Structure 1
């Protein structure tokens, strides 16, 4: 069985992330969406909220599981018995960062491969940082998010008011 890890902060999970996840479901037996704690990045949403959003977004995908993690990615891969990491590439600017991370992970765990997938053209511009910027300006980003995630965010915003 080919189990792969799709790691990220997912702050929040977007249609771009879902594009990669859905592509991966056609290539691999099991996808583990690994939500990184990443407190050093200062995420907008808590780790628990990001896990809940990812679970809601992936609920209908039978071969997708969502897990939180706070250790090194290669250690998480070993813990989950996976030797494949999936990463998304939207633009050339992503490539340089992803290449560095792929090499760093390979230096720590040569048995783990990194596979890069590109989102479809309509999702190539979507990033969590774009979504967060829109949210900070109280504008709608429903078109960039899975409906379940948008509902969670809208409910959370209303609770703050």
Structure 2
């Protein structure tokens, strides 16, 4: 059984993330979406909130599991018996960032491969940071995030009175 892990901060999950997750679910037997617990990073949503938002957003995907982890990704993958890291690439800059990480992961665990998927061009400009900035100022998020995420963002950034 081919198990893949799609990891990230997902703060919050966007339709670009979902595109990569859905496409991965068509390729691999099981996809674990793993939310990184990073104490060095200030997040808008807690790890638990991000896990719940991802569960809601991927509920129609039977072979997708949502989890969280801390520490090294390759150690988490070995614990889960996963062999493939899935990473979405929006641009050449993403590849330049991801390629050395993939090389280090390969050095630490030869049995683990990194699988790069090009982002759907419809989402190539999209990032969690952009979504948070838009939400902060009350911009429309239609087609950019799942509705459950939009609702959660509205809770974090109530409209100005």
Q: How many residue pairs are counted as aligned between the two chains?
A: 160
CA contact (8 A) 1:19 1:119 kept: yes
Q: Which residue of 2 aligns with 1:41?
A: 41
Measure how far apart 1:41 and its partner are: 2.1
Structure with the bigger percentage of helix: 1
Measure how far apart 1:142 and its partner are: 3.4
For 2:5 and 2:150, how far apart are their aligned partners in 1? Answer: 24
Is 1:6 paired with 2:23?
A: no
Measure how far apart 1:8 and its partner are: 0.3
CA contact (8 A) 1:32 1:65 kept: yes
Measure how far apart 1:134 and its partner are: 1.3
SS of corresponding position for 2:143: helix
Q: Which residue of 2 aligns with 1:150?
A: 150
Q: Which runs of 5+ in 2 are unaligned?
A: none
SS of corresponding position for 2:53: helix
Is 1:86 paired with 2:86?
A: yes
TM-score using structure 1 length:
0.92
For 1:17 and 1:146, how far apart are their aligned partners in 2? Answer: 10
Measure how far apart 1:155 and its partner are: 3.8
CA contact (8 A) 1:56 1:149 kept: no
Per-residue displacement from partner, 1:94-143 (whole Å, max 9, x unpaired)?
01111011112112111110000012111111111111221232323233
Q: CA RMSD in A?
A: 1.7
Q: Which runs of 5+ in 1 are unaligned?
A: none
Q: Which range moved further: 138-147 or 8-17? A: 138-147
Per-residue displacement from partner, 1:138-161 (whole Å, max 9, x unpaired)?
323233101222223224445xx9
For 2:133 and 2:148, how far apart are their aligned partners in 1? Answer: 20
Q: Which residue of 1 aligns with 2:102?
A: 102
